[in-house]
Structure 1
Amino acid sequence: MLSSLVDDGELQTPPKTGFRPSNLLLNHQDGIYTAAVFDRRHGLVDWDLHLKRLDRSMHHLGAPESAEDYTTASPSKVALAVCRSTSTALRDFIKNNTERDWDRAMVTVVVTEREPSMIGVAPQYRVIVLAYPLPVQMPDQPAVAVGVHGRPRRNPSVKDASWARERQPIEQYKTSEMAEVLLSTETGEVTEGLVTNFFIVTVSAERESAVQTATVDYVLPGILRSRVLQACEALGIPVVYKSPDLKQSGEWTEAFITNCIRGIQPVHSVITDGLAAPSCIKLPSRDGTITRQLKGMLSQLQSFTPLHNLD
């Protein structure tokens, strides 16, 4: 299947086979980015939140920082340019790929600041969009194994493209059996994954279930993370904002990772070689009760933006 690349509003020569979203980020490490899903039947998933998060991250490129949270801020002129470029990329992607071959595409948007000599000749910010085919998503995501390796990132509040380079040494630890690598402190408090947020479920002595995840001080607050927290509120499930401690893994009843591409994916094993914890934490091999409830509520909370709304 063919990808589609748009740079500064213009379609580019189709990327070579093997050119992945991570390659785009490595080529533009000075930029900020977001990665969304385009569903062929319904449109872009939670697109308004992606636009607002880009706006929220613009201070990383020198723009004034908004005091608003990205879920409430208003889209900027950059967001309008992002919409136009995304529309061009997706229309080209649809034209070049037959419907029977795909049902979802990953839309990676990178915004970089132009060289000072170009400002005044062209807009201050450059927008690059890659539409990339995704495998067909199964109705029930299988549970996966994850590893634990590496320390929390330096600047988790901004989704900057340089993270694609910084995480490469940690990715080398990832084996074929691992779907993700989690970051932790030296004492075993898990913050987040390389490209996911991490959650556990615990049960109190009163038999009340609670969802636990690290605070925003230590993680990139992903869009799926925000949706999961909204789902918890809607379902009346308590949330504990504290990094899950590997040393207390005996109290975990469920675990899952989230991002916009994976959705909510259950974790059946946490491999912790080299840490002061069990070498492999075993969890249920399928969705637990809380994970199942959150998945059901998530489908009600997510919004869809049809392609024609981008023009």
Structure 2
Amino acid sequence: MSSCRFLAINGVVSPTSDVPPVSSFLENHPGAYTTSRTHNNASCPLFWQRHLRRLADSTRILYELRPELLFGPQITKFPKPPLSSSSFSSLWESVIPSLVNNSLSKALPIALKERKNGEELAVTALVSGNPNKCNVDEVDEEERALRVLDVYVHVGIYIPPVFGDRENGARLAVVGRGRDVARAKFSDWVKLRKRLEKLRPPLVTELLLSNDGDRILEGCITNFFVVCRKESNGSAGEILSDHRSTCSFEVQTAPINDGLLPGVIRKLILEVCSRRGIPFREVAPSWSNCELWEEAFITNSLRLVQHVQTICVPSSWELLESQTWKELAWEEKQFEETPGVITAEIQGELMRLAGTEGYLTSFLI
């Protein structure tokens, strides 16, 4: 199979020798999805149980609010849903993990044989509704749930970047408005975020979202955090290095209710802050207060924590809709080239959790 990519569909590994990259695959299949990767030489899928719960929740949200994003536009031909809403949540919370793990157990052995030592595996699970199965009338609701779903598991080789490397810092640009149906992670977003590419300045590695150009919600594929200094007479270095004895700074990230994806790693970061006594507040970081930002980092399930080196924001938010990046004036905030004290502590604790909250690959095969 080309480029060591593998695809299992409803528990059967695809026989095709040309499995597409995951972004192309998602563009061509509607549904809810989640992406994680293995850890410790492919011995453990990172926080896999959390990902399965979020996948089931995303599927439920799409089913209830936007079925066309789960089944595709053809769902309009089937006004009668295959399952009642009341039985959907509890039933599919058990059905979806079972179906996903079944497909993963078929693809993993093949992928593990192909990987080289030191390489990890990126795993994307997609749950798609099949409109051709919606007229199936079974007495048993669990059987009906199984029949209307198609489950895909895409596995590819992934080499994690080295945390803290000067060349691996993120360069961000605020370019677009918040996503629709933000609480669900769905494949159609891959198409929507492509429209923002015309606004990506050179060297920018991630695009951030904001509804007003000031309060930053999240990235297109990440959650966004800042370490914000409060007014204080002490120096920034003293404040951050002695954070257990001061409340002169806080970690900030936008709350879910502002309209952003409830990232698996985002939730873990808040748990880490609580456990380590790091002050945090769920509030959208405000660009107008960026002079108080001492550190910034982004998170997702592939890179986990990535420190930020630069953030740029267009000077005129009103012109954003019709311009390319060349036609806009930009304001920029720069950070240190290497991770700050708080970012590094959070990353270290997250990696410790990755080793304890494990789900051994061997149990899935």
The answer to whether the 8 A contact 1:266-1:286 is kept is yes
State the 1:139 CA deviation: 4.4
> Which residue of the partner structure matches residue 77 of structure 1?
95
Q: Which residue of 2 aligns with 1:125?
A: 149
| Cα offset, 1:13, TM superposition | 3.0
Query: Are 1:58 and 1:65, in contact at CA under 8 Å, matched by a contact in 2?
Result: no
* 1:57-79 Cα deviation digits (max 9, x unpaired): 222225647999x9xx9941121
The equivalent residue for 1:99 is 116
Distance in 2 (alpha carbons) for counterparts of 1:21 and 1:7 = 14
Say which one has the larger Rg.
2
Which residue is equivalent to 2:8?
6
Q: Which is worse superposed, 104-113 or 181-190?
A: 181-190
Tell me the TM-score normalized by structure 2: 0.77
Whether the 8 Å CA contact 1:56–1:66 is kept in 2: the answer is no
CA displacement, residues 90-145 of structure 1 (integer Å, 9 cap, x when unaligned): 212122x1423x52111011001122446459722110010011124324353221
Which range moves more in the overlay, 295-304 or 47-56?
295-304
**Gaps (5+ residues) in structure 1?**
none
CA distance in structure 2 between the partners assigned to 1:125 and 1:48 by the alignment: 20
| Matching residue's letter, 1:82 | V
- The answer (yes or no) to whether the contact 1:210–1:240 under 8 Å persists in 2 is yes
1:270 maps to 311
2:351 is the alignment partner of 1:299: yes
Over residues 151-181 of structure 1, what are the superposed CA-to-partner deviations in whole Å (9 max), with x where a residue is unaligned? Answer: 1112110011111111110133224411100
TM-superposed CA distance for 1:308, in Å, is 2.4
Structure having the larger proportion of residues in helix? 2
2:170 maps to: 144
What's the % identity of the aligned pairs?
Answer: 26
Taking a change above 3 Å as real, the CA distance of residues 151 and 66 of structure 1, as seen in their structure-2 partners, is farther
Q: Cα deviations across residues 185-209 of structure 1 (Å, max 9, x unaligned)?
A: 2242110000000000012234422
Aligned equivalent of 2:71: none
What's the RMSD between the two structures over aligned residues? Answer: 2.6
Matches within 5 A, 1:1-311: 1-14=3-16, 16=18, 19-29=20-30, 31-39=31-39, 40-59=41-60, 60-62=62-64, 64=85, 75-95=93-113, 97-100=114-117, 103-117=119-133, 119=136, 123-141=147-165, 142-206=168-232, 207=239, 208-217=248-257, 218-275=259-316, 279-302=331-354, 303-311=357-365
Aligned partner of residue 88 in structure 1, secondary structure? helix
Q: Distance in 2 between matches of 1:308 and 1:254?
A: 38
CA distance in 1, matches of 2:292, 2:116: 46
Which letter does structure 2 place at the counterpart of 1:138? Answer: V
Moved more, 55-64 or 39-48: 55-64
Q: Relative to 1, partners in 2 of residues 1:234 and 1:66: Cα closer, same or farther, differing over 3 Å?
A: farther
TM-score (norm 1): 0.89
Unpaired stretches in structure 2, ≥5 consecutive residues = 65-82, 139-143, 233-238, 240-247, 318-328
